[in-house]
Amino acid sequence: MSQIHKIQNRLIRFLGLITIAAFGIVSTLGSGGGSDSDGSTEPTGVRAFDFTILDNDISAAILAKNTISLFPMFTELGSEMLNTLIVADPANSPYPLAICTNVPNGTAQLSWIDNGDGVLSTGDNAMLSLDNCDIDNSGETVSGSNTVLFDNVDVSNYPPEIIIVTSISATLTIPAPGGSITFSASFKINTTTLDGINYTTTYTAQDSAGQILSVSQNNEVLFKFGCFNVTQLHSIAVPGTYDLSTTGVINANNYIMSLASGPPVNFINDLPFSGSQRLLSMSSPNCGAVGVPNGVSDSNGAYIDIVFKELFNGDLVIKVFNINDQLLSENHTWWDVL
C-alpha cells in the first residue's frame, strides 16, 4: 500500500475520532450554562469543577478521556504524513486524497511547501486541507485545514534516527445539530527516535505563546485545553500499544480542572491497561490561555484518580477524594462506555 493510501486510511479514522471527541465534549457540556444537581442555575464566570457533586465524577472522566484520546490520533496521522514527506518529491505537491464520499464537490489534499532544497528540512511547511469532505459516507461533512511548520528537522541519519520539531495550527468545522462544531488547535510537537522503531512524541502548549486546543459551537467556546505537556512512548512494531502521560488545564464551559502527572497510562490495542490519571479541581499551573492566569479561588481541594485495571476491556475505577485524601466515592465503569 502506498504512503498516500495509508494517509487516506489514517485520515478517515483520525477525523472520525476527532468528530466523536468533539461531539462527546459538546454533549457532555451542553451549550452553555447548565444547572447543579438541585436544578438551580449555575453562576456565570470561571470557577473550579466540583467533583463532589452527584455525577460530576463521570462528567470529569469523560472530559479527561476525550482530551487525552486526541493525542494518539495526532501521532497516528502525523507519522503517516511525516513518512510520506521524507521520501516524497515536493515537485509532485499537492497530493490529492480520494477520501471524500457522497458529496460531489468535496475535496481533500496534502500540500508541501519546500524551502528550496528538495528534501524535508527546517523551514518547510505542510498543509492538509479539507473542503466539504464527507469521509465516511454519513452525509456529514468536514472542512478545515491542518498546517505544520517544521521548526527543526534532523533526518541526516534516517533511517533509523530522526528528530522533528513542528508547530501545528489546525481548524476543522463539523456540521452538527444545534450548530456547527469547530475544533481548533495550536501547539508544538517533538518527535524523536534512535532506532526507527521506538519513538517518543511530546506535545506542548506554551501559555506565553497562547497555544491551546479548543472546541466551540455557534461561536461559543465550550472547551479549552492549555498549558499542556503530553508524552507518548510508542513503537511502530506494536501499533495501538503505547504509554501516555498527560498534564494540562481544562476550561469546560467555564469550569476548571487539571490533569496532573502520575504513573503513565499504558494502552494495549488502544484500550487503557494499567496506570492512572489524576484530575485536580483547580488550575495547575495557572493558565492564561484557558482564562485563569491567576487560577481559581473556590476549589474545595477534591481530586479524582482514574485507575486502570490490568484487563483488556478498558476496565477502570473513578475514585473521588477530598482535600484530606479521604475517599468519598468509587465508581466502576469501562473506557468504551464513558
Please tell me the least confidently modeled range out of 135-144, 222-231, 292-301, 327-336: 135-144
Please tell me the least confidently modeled range out of 34-43, 86-95, 277-286, 318-327: 34-43
C-alpha cell at 118: 528538495
The three-class DSSP label of residue 104 is: coil
Q: Is the pLDDT of residue 44 over 60?
A: no
Q: What's the predicted TM-score (pTM) here?
A: 0.89
* Residue 24 DSSP label: H
Give pLDDT tens digits for 130-163.
998 887 777 778 899 999 999 999 988 988 999 9
CB 75 within 8 A of CB 10: no
CB 9 within 8 A of CB 98: no
By DSSP bridging, strand 212-217 and strand 198-204 are unpaired
For the chain, domain boundaries: 3-32+48-337
